[in-house]
Structure 1
Amino acid sequence: MESANASAEGLRKQISETEESLRKLKAQLHQFEFQEKSDSAKTVSLDEHKWPLSAEEYKRYGRQMIVPSVGIQGQLRLKAAKVLIIGAGGLGCPAAAYIAGAGVGTLGIVDGDVVETSNLHRQILHGTEKIRWKKVDSMIASLKSLNPNPAYVAHAEHISPQNSESIVKQYDLVLDCTDNPASRYLISDICILLQKTLISASALRTDGQLIVLNLPPLPAGAEGGPCYRCVFPKPPPADTVVSCGDGGIIGPVVGVMGVMQAVEAIKIITSGKIDSSAEVAGSGENTKQEPTLMLLFSANSSQPFRSVKLRSRRAGCFACSKDSQLSLESLTSGSVDYVLFCGFTSPTKILQPEERIEASQYSKVRSKQHILLDVRDKVQFDICHLDGSINVPFSNFQGGKEDVVDGSSWIPDSLPNDASVYVVCRLGNDSQVVTRKLKEAGLDARGKRYIGDVKGGFKAWKEQVDQSWPEY
């Protein structure tokens, strides 16, 4: 039996390696086929000494070149520009598609993740056949299919204080398409230090926001547009930060914000507000400061779009004021700790080992009298839950001890006073917080009632107990 299992496992491994090799070969073939098409198109181009663009480029970009605010000069500025997109997800995919389609000269993509099934409802440049591909490779393959003309540069890593300077300095304009506060502060800081304009956006559930920062791109101490720290001097409390994975996201909502980032990028480049190339006539002539606006979007509002006018740079700002304490040395050396500044988003080690139970262990006590408290939101509880569980959302436990005690009506009167309470959530983070609050409120009857959480939540339940459990 063991020999058969070993043989089966060996075959699975061989199949997986063969599939991965096949994916890579398909990607290479895809690239060569479009390179051939691109080379073929170039052979029939017009006289380059007479016309600044090729015949194929005139045909490809003609519809936007006849827009008065773009024209031939705007198209040449796009061709000379180098744009960096940090994040190849829900924001980065639509932003990259429209910027590449518009004919930008160089497009860099930064991301260290791989494509997962849960990405596909909103990250439109990836596909089912690209699951487990690196996101940068998947995105660039799709972009080459859309437009083979730009130079695409893959940075298959996450942005960090150590690599941010070497990456960002190569580009004229930066788009922040990440999804966490620490990255947003880091990207804004390096853009101030390297004098780059930044287009930052975010989205969650049915809402989004966008803001153009450091426009025109000026060094610290100069009078200009604000940086991210000017608008948000302090990060939100770590326990209030909700990711798309926890809070959910409607695909078109994040798509709208990514498209708006592309709109702003094209406007900035074609108007000459960044000096993308000194060889393009008129580059950089329009660098006066304009009012900075934050665009807010709400899909459920009768007026989906509204804007808020922002002040210019904040006096005393850590990053961009004349009293700035930020430098490339302090950033790359690690003395500016972005994770510490923003707080830890995962409440690890809140409970002692004896206050936690493995999912596999909990499955063995399911037949005994106990309470299973599911603290996910009702919408998640309705998607899937264990029979007999009681749903009290995490938000109900945000008050003080008195509120927790007063809200303990969920404890069935029919059960013994010492019946154990097991707390479960999706990933095992919220359940730790609730377990601690229940014990601090005295609901453990001074130790007579066991209260603990299911370690790893329903993710661990799927891995250890029930592989049919829905993964969402």
Structure 2
Amino acid sequence: MQNSKPDTNGAANSAGNGVAMEERIQPSRSFTDEEFERYSRQMIVPGMGKEGQLRLINSRVLIIGAGGLGCPAAQYIAGAGVGTIGVVDGDVVELSNLHRQVGHATSRIGMKKVDSLITHLRRLNPLPTFVPHASHIDPQNAADIVSQYDVVVDCTDNPATRYLISDVCVLLCKPLVSAASVQKSGQLIVLNCPPTPKGLLDRKYAPCYRCCFKKPPPAGAMLSCGEAGIMGPVVGMMGVAQAGEAIKIIASALHLPPSDPDSAPERNLQQPTLLLYSYDLESAVGPYTFRALKMAGRKKTCFACGENSTLTLDGIKAGNPNYEQFCGLAAPRSNLPPEERITAAAYHAAKTRGELPEHVLVDTREKEHFSFGNIDGAVNVPFGKLLMTAAAVKRGGASADQILAPAELEPLPEDAPIFVVCRRGLDSQEAVEKLKELGMDNGGKRKILDIVGGMKAWKEEVDHSFPFI
């Protein structure tokens, strides 16, 4: 069989490393004594058996992201005996990772995450071949990396990368197990499985990421774990579930494109499902919850897998589509004119010199962030609460006084300024605009100013000991 090179117009053989999966499996192959003992409890599970284990041993799985999702996913994929495991990540291990990224260790802080995780996996199971890809996945390298594997497990933490990975998996005919988690909730979905070339449409064909999420969430609503926080057991639950799906796909041979697409119904396919998980941290009792939402199949008009899709691998490498732009993740820019902004250092200097004897400082971070440290005299008005109150005021269901209590404003002159600070200087700009829309500038008599760079800038410019998290 000829080596399979990705087709820049879409379809590609699932062979990944140039050898079709059917040829890599050796039905007559016997297990070594170590393999037999190591995998015996798994092989006796109904539906696995010798054939399923051989598929795992002869398969190649790519894990993109060696963080909170990737660590537990990789552990169980390696433990199950997948023959070749690729790990993609461009970051290094940090102390703040360790409460959830269980494949790393305190002794490996500063090490590249791919090397740290592979070190951990080799100690768990030395039999697989581990392949490090010590860089972030991007439009230039995605196809070259993904093409080497049979199944892709997306453990990244931002929408732009998820759309990129899904698009490449559609074009290369790779099944994709995608998950996301933040704060106390997570979600999981299996995409493009069994892998089917773009343009083939039927509800029996699993959707791609764009079929399920045609538009990304607003840029301001997308919070990373660093911004919003994350509970380790939540992201761990999602990573373990990803491993389970990847193992099931391979053991059931669902990662192989059907030789005849019309034979897909014979493969005992299930309706695509989005699994949602939530965890109530504030309740002392009560169960965590799982919900399964039924998803539709491929969409005729989908940009990536639809019948008129113009998506190509060459186009992706050339920057079409622009994933950062599509998800609104272009470099941060100021929404406010210079006269409505002040640096953290300038604010501190003016306050220290007594030039700001009467003013209000609004801190829009969540109460958990605020509780770790704040600027003396700041009033905590969480950004989400501010937006909800502003919307209620517009509907006539609330008063602007509910944002800042009268007791905080009435003692002040009507021209006493309001300063707004957030974590990194983005939410505060929108907060300034909302406060002005609500008339809290007293018709222009009161200045409302954003502190540039937020509390991160405060730590860098004013107080290096400030506990910024």
Q: Report which stretch shifted further, 363-372 or 63-72.
A: 363-372
Letter of the aligned partner of 2:234 in structure 1? V
* Equivalent in the alignment of 2:337: 352
CA distance in 2, matches of 1:137, 1:194: 27
Aligned to 2:325: 340
Specify the alignment match of 1:6 in structure 2.
Answer: none
Q: Give the number of the structure with larger relative contact order, counting CA–CA contacts within 8 Å between residues 6 or more apart.
A: 2
Quick one: distance in 2 between partners of 1:205 and 1:176?
19
1:310 aligns with 2:314: no
Cα distance in structure 2, aligned partners of 1:88 and 1:241 = 20
How far 1:250 moved relative to its partner? 0.8
1:110 positional shift: 1.1
Q: TM (normalized to structure 2)?
A: 0.83
- Does the Cα contact within 8 Å between 2:362 and 2:418 map onto a contact in 1? yes
SS in 1 for 2:274: strand
- Any gaps of 5 or more consecutive residues in structure 1? 1-47, 279-283
Q: How does 1:2-151 map to 2 (within 5 A)?
A: 52-151=30-129
| TM-score, structure 1 normalization | 0.83
RMSD over aligned Cα atoms: 2.5
* AA matched with 1:378: K
- Is 1:465–2:450 an aligned residue pair? no
- Structure 1 letter corresponding to 2:92: V
Q: Aligned equivalents of 1:227 and 1:324: distance in 2?
A: 13
Counterpart of 2:419 in 1: which secondary structure?
strand
- Secondary structure of the residue aligned to 1:366 is helix
Q: SS where residue 360 of structure 2 aligns?
A: strand
Alignment-mate amino acid for residue 189 of structure 1: D
Shift of 1:214: 0.8
**Aligned match for 1:397, one of 364, 372, 386:** 386
Rounded to whole Å, the distance in 2 between the matches of 1:176 and 1:393 is 32
In the alignment, the residues of structure 2 paired with residue 434 and residue 320 of structure 1 have an alpha-carbon distance, to the nearest angstrom, of 39
Asked if the contact 1:273/1:285 (under 8 Å) is kept, the reply is no
Give the letter aligned to residue 324 of structure 1. S
Residue 293 in structure 1 maps to residue 299 in structure 2: no
**For residues 234 and 151 of structure 1, what CA distance do their matches in structure 2 show?**
38
Q: Is 1:379 aligned to residue 368 of structure 2?
A: yes
> What is the CA-CA distance between 1:192 and the residue it aligns to?
0.5
Report if the CA contact (8 A) 1:272-1:285 is conserved.
no
| Unpaired stretches in structure 2, ≥5 consecutive residues | 1-25, 281-285
2:423 is the alignment partner of 1:438:
no
For structure 1, which segment, 257-266 or 460-469, has the greater mean C-alpha deviation from structure 2 after superposition?
460-469
Identical aligned pairs, as a percentage? Answer: 53
Matched residues in 1 for 2:287 and 2:330: separation? 33
The DSSP-based 3-state class of the residue aligned with 1:423 is: strand
* Post-superposition CA distance 1:441-471 (Å, at most 9, x none): 4433455433222222111222222222223
> How far did residue 436 of structure 1 move?
2.6
Tell me how far 1:288 sits from its aligned partner: 5.1
Q: How far off its partner does 1:440 sit?
A: 4.2
Q: 1:428 to 1:183 in 2, by over 3 A?
A: same
Decide which of 239, 259, 262 is 2:220's aligned counterpart: 239
Aligned length: 419
Instruction: Measure, in 2, the Cα distance between the counterparts of 1:303 and 1:432.
Output: 36
Q: CA 1:201–1:120 in 2, change beyond 3 Å: closer, same or farther?
A: same
2 CA distance for matches of 1:352 and 1:207? Answer: 38
Distance 1:225 1:265, change over 3 A: same
Q: Which amino acid aligns with 2:333?
A: T
Q: Which letter does structure 1 place at the counterpart of 2:155?
A: C
User: How far apart in 2 are the matches of 1:141 and 1:460?
Assistant: 37
For each residue in 1:403-443, what CA deviation from the matched residue of structure 2 results, as whole angstroms up to 9, or x when unmatched?
78444543422222222222111111111111233334443
The residue type paired with residue 328 of structure 2 is: G
Measured in 2, the distance between the counterparts of 1:454 and 1:225 equals 47
Asked if the contact 2:27–2:51 (Cα under 8 Å) also holds between the matched residues in 1, the reply is: no
Per-residue deviation, 1:248: 1.5
Q: What is the CA distance between 1:243 and its match in structure 2?
A: 1.9
- Aligned residue type for 1:317: C
Q: 2:180 aligns with which of 202, 207, 217?
A: 202
